[in-house]
Amino acid sequence: MAFSDYKVALVTGASGGIGSAITERFAQEGLTVHAIGRNQDKLEELASRVKCVPHAIDISDTAAYRELLKSLEVDVIVNNAGVDHKGSIHTLSADQIDAQVTINFGAVLHGIGAVLPGMIERDRGHIINITSIAAAYPFKSNTVYHATKAGVRALTNQLRTDVLGKRIRVTEICPARVATEIFGKVHGNPKQAQKDFVEGYEILQPKDIANAIGDAVGAPSYANISCLEILPTFQAVGGLEFIRHTADDAGGKD
């Protein structure tokens, strides 16, 4: 098992949901886990029940984030933190666009850029980027979220060529709907979002994603699980819409 090759892991977005579940799984495997998130109370609660090292920082603060990473020898990094704002590119504010680009894509670039030199020097490491089915399939709204996650997918594929010849693995985890707090944050009403997106569905749980990551890390060091797309059995992606357009709609009638 490749877990035995690693000592230190870092997980972003560890305050709750998927990040918390990954932190717990890694700690169970004996790794020293640095758990990064913005909610100090939730991180402290996590650390009280899981052996991890909490860091309450905002990864959009690039200087602070890279300064922390300089002090660590990270063998496994999980880029999990993400934000979403409902809306298309022409309805989002400048701040909403910038927040998604900074957290979903920029912080991933900076995190990897900071830890990869050490991985190359030690000739071991595993980079895990959590994207979304939004990286691969278009659906209405959330335009910038789609674009940032697609950027992380392209980055993940490129990284494998950058580290070829080193014992460094790169994995993309691409989940569909997972029961997390993101729906409440996006739609502004956690209780209603719970009813609309979670209740009554056979939905993935954060631990399901954590276990998939555990399988990828635990594979023999010569095996790179490059991409895992994980959907609930009762969810499908794809489909086709075709809008009927008439001359009247186009203003072509005299």
Helix, strand, coil % (nearest 5) of the chain?
Answer: 45, 15, 40
Task: Give the whole-angstrom CA distance, residue 125 versus residue 164.
Answer: 12
Polymer length in residues for the chain:
254
Main-chain phi, psi angles of 125, to 5 degrees = 165, 165
CA dihedral 102, 104, 110, 112 (to 10 degrees): 180
CB atoms within 10 A of CB 250: 8
Residue 203 · residue 178 · CB < 8 Å? yes
Among 6, 65, 137, 145, which one carries the catalytic annotation? 145
Cβ neighbours of residue 189 closer than 8 Å, sequence gap 6 or more? none
Residue 171 has which token pair?
A: 């994995």
Active site residue 145: yes
CB atoms within 10 A of CB 234: 9
Catalytic positions, written as ranges: 145
